[in-house]
Amino acid sequence: MTSPLARLWRSLHFPATLQLKVMRFFNDEFLVGVTGVIFNGKQQVLLLKHTYREIEWSLPGGYLHAKEHPSEGLEREVMEETGLTISADKLLTVRTDRETGRLDMCYIGVFIGGKFKKSREVIGYQFYSFDTLPLLLPDQALLIKEALAKHIKK
Domain containing residue 112: CATH number: 3.90.79.10
> Within a domain: residue 7?
no
pLDDT, greater one: 122 or 99: 122
Backbone angles phi, psi at 47, to 5 degrees: -125, 145
> Within a domain: residue 44?
yes
Number of domains comprising the chain? 1
Task: Give mean pLDDT, residues 133-153.
Answer: 90
CA distances from 62 to 49, 58, 75 (A): 14, 11, 10
Q: In which band, very low, low, confident or very high, does the pLDDT at 27 lie, cut at 50, 70 and 90?
A: low
> Within a domain: residue 35?
yes
pLDDT at 153: 64
Sign of CA dihedral 27, 73, 77, 97: positive
> Within a domain: residue 14?
no
> Within a domain: residue 51?
yes
> Within a domain: residue 68?
yes
The per-residue pLDDT of the chain, averaged, comes to 88
Give every CB contact of residue 140 below 8 A, 6+ residues apart in sequence.
35, 58, 59
Among the listed ranges 11-15, 30-34, 104-108, which one has the minimum average pLDDT value? 11-15
pLDDT greater than 90 at residue 96: no
> Within a domain: residue 36?
yes
pLDDT, greater one: 45 or 150: 45
pLDDT greater than 60 at residue 1: no
> Within a domain: residue 20?
no
pTM of this structure: 0.80
pLDDT, greater one: 106 or 53: 106
Task: Give mean pLDDT, residues 9-23.
Answer: 73
Closest CA to 79 of 37, 113, 29: 113
Q: 147 is in which domain, residue-wise?
A: 29-153
pLDDT at 9: 66
